[in-house]
């Protein structure tokens, strides 16, 4: 997810990324950002453009929802990274929909997931739910990079990682 912000990285952009994600400005964290930047190939850039074009209806809808709730613009890329904006996407772990919700998380945040209906596949309902879930995570962790990590692994796992490492520092957790 973070790598999408490094397409034209400069010192000012690095500072902006650190600030936007709530990452402490340290040499170790800057080194990680530089490493991510260096790992981006031209093919990655072309894939990114293709995903946005192929799923422009969902990308546009998510962008509009983000603007309506004044959420950080980088959240647009979460759905792209999770599913390429595809409502029918399903992971090997049973995460489903554009936002790749696990069934239990989807239910906990108000989506119906059963044999008759799977609201994880509804782009509007799942987008609203994703923003509720992200709001919950950001309230809990108070830093966007922790919230995004927790979105991927679960808030319990993120809490355990912080406890085990003794730190919520970006570089330490990675």
Q: Which residues are part of the catalytic machinery?
A: 82
Give Cβ neighbours of residue 135 (< 8 Å, ≥ 6 apart).
none
User: What's the CA gap between 130 and 101, in Å, rounded?
Assistant: 8
Residue 167 φ then ψ, to 5°: -155, 155
Q: How many CA atoms lie within 13 A of 112 on its CB side?
A: 5
Strands (E), 4-134: none
Q: Rounded to whole angstroms, what are the CA distances from 98 to 30, 103, 121, 122, 174?
A: 31, 13, 7, 8, 25
């Amino acid at each position: 997810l973070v790598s999408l912000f490094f397409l034209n990285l400069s010192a000012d952009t690095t500072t902006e990324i650190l600030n936007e994600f709530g990452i402490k400005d340290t040499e170790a964290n800057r080194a990680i950002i530089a490493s991510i930047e260096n790992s981006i190939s031209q093919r990655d850039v072309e894939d990114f453009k293709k995903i946005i074009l192929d799923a422009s209806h969902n990308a546009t809808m998510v962008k509009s929802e983000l603007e309506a709730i004044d959420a950080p613009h980088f959240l647009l890329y979460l759905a792209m990274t999770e599913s390429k904006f595809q409502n029918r996407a399903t992971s090997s772990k049973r995460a489903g929909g554009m936002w790749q919700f696990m069934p239990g998380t989807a239910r906990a945040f108000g989506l119906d997931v059963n044999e008759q209906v799977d609201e994880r596949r509804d782009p509007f309902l799942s987008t609203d739910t994703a923003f509720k879930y992200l709001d919950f995570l950001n309230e809990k962790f108070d830093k966007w990079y922790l919230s995004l990590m927790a979105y991927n692994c679960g808030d319990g796992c993120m809490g355990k990682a912080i406890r085990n490492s003794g730190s919520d520092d970006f570089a330490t957790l990675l």
